[in-house]
Amino acid sequence: MSNLSDKVKSTVNKVKGETKDQVGNAKNDPNLQAEGKLDKLKGEVQEGIGKLKD
């Protein structure tokens, strides 16, 4: 069950990060873009943790 939870959190963070990155790009807001990239990285780490648990 926790593997599924890690995968869901991973996907949510990746989508949230991509959205922030794109909105930041459209608004020319480097801080929002940086937040988005950080969220995407967090999602990738969570995905790796989920794979390790498998």
pTM: 0.85
pLDDT of residue 2: 66
> Could you tell me the residue ranges of all domains in the chain?
2-53
Three-class HEC string of the chain: CHHHHHHHHHHHHHHHHHHHHHHHHHHCCHHHHHHHHHHHHHHHHHHHHHHHHC
Helices (H) and strands (E) in the chain, counts: 2, 0
Give 1-54 pLDDT, tens digit per residue.
567 788 899 999 999 999 999 999 999 999 999 999 999 999 999 999 888 887
Residue 22: the pLDDT is 97
Q: What is the pLDDT of residue 41?
A: 97
How far apart are the C-alpha atoms of 7 and 49, rounded to whole Å?
Answer: 9
* Dist. CA 14–CA 1, nearest whole Å: 20
